[in-house]
């Protein structure tokens, strides 16, 4: 007797089983381990003690005095969170201000030249992140290209201290993540109908009004996509703040590494990792909501 034919739904589930197993064990599995560690006690010399506690979550925002046990806000932790959010937002804004004119320039070139300009934009991705960060350090250090040029031009007499400051971290992250802003903006501008600009000028709109009421609303999906692509990795950046900040301007990524390394407090590091993940998920939900609203509005 012939075997009954399998349903299409069952067949599709069987075919997708390898991908589902890889997703579960390769992505969900490590996250589950981090979630479990966040509710355990730290080991004496690293690792964890398998005893349930919420102390790690408490220590993210508060700290106890070692003498009288009084509770106070964890100012150092909150400062690191604020610095990370501030630098990530500033990096996103900086890349947008620089990336929008670049994307507009590329999109308005002849069709046979756009590929060359896009190729030049993507060249930094061919180089390791560590090498790119060291390249920026050579530009902004006291005896670097920038200070040497300004001294020779007579603009300054002594080098400007840029390296190992928040400004250095901002410059480095803006350089590293700029292509992630330019490419989505270019994709949005490339579909732009430039006849709308002529219509705006025919109605006596100024350049600022055309930019604010015609260009920006139409390319908004590219702005949102580029902002998410820049904000998410800059929030958890580790290499660039570590090298250009010199350890004095710690961000969330550096703080998490410190807990799993020298701090030997794996539960606290796990709790910080989950908070970082939550912030990223909120940003992605905002992106999905904005893009969904745009899709429903345009059809």
When pLDDT is averaged across residues 32-37 and rounded to a whole number, the result is: 93
Q: Does 133 fall in a domain? A: yes
pLDDT in tens, 155-174: 888 999 999 999 999 999 99
Q: Exposed, middle or buried by CB within 10 Å (0-12, 13-18, 19+), for 270?
A: buried
Q: How confident is the model at residue 3 (pLDDT cuts 50, 70, 90)?
A: low
Q: Does 269 fall in a domain? A: yes
Q: Does 5 fall in a domain? A: no
For the chain, the farthest-separated pair of C-alpha atoms sits apart, in whole angstroms, at: 94
Q: Does 49 fall in a domain? A: no
The pLDDT assigned to 42 comes to: 92
Q: Is residue 288 scored above 70 in pLDDT?
A: yes
The pLDDT assigned to 268 comes to: 94
Q: How confident is the model at residue 280 (pLDDT cuts 50, 70, 90)?
A: confident
Q: Does 100 fall in a domain? A: yes
Instruction: List the single range of 64-68, 72-76, 179-183, 208-212 with lowest mean pLDDT.
Output: 64-68
CA angle 144, 148, 152 (to 5 degrees): 175
Output the CA–CA distances (angstroms, integers) from residue 216 to 92, 93, 106, 113, 227, in the order listed.
16, 14, 17, 24, 14
For residue 260, give the CATH number of its domain: 1.10.3720.10
Q: How far apart are CA 180 and CA 185, in angstroms?
A: 9
Q: Does 62 fall in a domain? A: no
Long-range contacts of range 252-261, CB-CB < 8 Å, 24 or more positions apart? 252/80, 252/81, 252/84, 252/276, 253/84, 255/77, 255/80
**What are 248's two structure tokens?**
């004095």
Q: How far apart are CA 174 and CA 171, in angstroms?
A: 5
pLDDT in tens, 199-257: 988 888 888 998 889 998 889 889 988 999 999 999 999 999 999 988 778 899 999 99
**For 244, what's the count of Cα atoms within 13 Å in the CB-facing half-sphere?**
31
Q: Does 17 fall in a domain? A: no
The domain total for the chain is 1
> In terms of residue numbers, what domain contains 195?
72-297
- pTM for the whole structure: 0.86
Strand partners, 63: 72
């Amino acid at each position: 007797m012939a075997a009954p034919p399998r349903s299409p739904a069952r067949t599709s589930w069987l075919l997708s089983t390898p991908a589902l197993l890889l997703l579960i064990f390769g992505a969900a599995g490590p996250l589950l381990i981090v979630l479990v560690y966040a509710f355990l006690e730290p080991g004496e010399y690293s690792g964890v003690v398998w005893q349930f506690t919420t102390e790690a979550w408490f220590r993210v925002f508060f700290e106890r005095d070692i003498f009288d046990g009084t509770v106070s806000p964890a100012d150092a932790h909150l400062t690191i969170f604020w610095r990370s959010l501030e630098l990530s937002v500033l990096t996103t804004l900086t890349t947008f201000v620089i990336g929008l004119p670049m994307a507009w320039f590329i999109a308005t070139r002849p069709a046979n030249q756009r590929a060359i300009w896009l190729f030049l934009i993507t060249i930094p991705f061919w180089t390791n992140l560590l090498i790119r960060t060291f390249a920026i350090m050579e530009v902004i250090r006291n005896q670097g290209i920038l200070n040497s040029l300004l001294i020779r031009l007579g603009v300054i007499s002594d080098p400007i201290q840029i390296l190992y400051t928040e400004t250095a971290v901002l410059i480095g992250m803006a350089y590293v993540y700029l292509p992630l802003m330019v490419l989505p903006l270019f994709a949005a501008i490339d579909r732009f109908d430039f006849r709308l600009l002529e219509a705006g000028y025919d109605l006596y709109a100024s350049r600022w009004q055309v930019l604010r009421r015609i260009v920006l609303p139409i390319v908004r999906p590219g702005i949102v996509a580029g902002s998410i692509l820049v904000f998410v990795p800059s929030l958890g950046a580790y290499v660039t703040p570590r090298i250009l900040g010199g350890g004095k301007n710690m961000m969330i990524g550096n703080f998490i590494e410190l807990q799993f390394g020298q701090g030997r407090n794996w539960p606290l590091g796990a709790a910080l990792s989950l908070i970082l993940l939550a912030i990223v998920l909120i940003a992605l939900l905002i992106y999905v909501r904005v893009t969904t609203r745009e899709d429903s509005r345009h059809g």
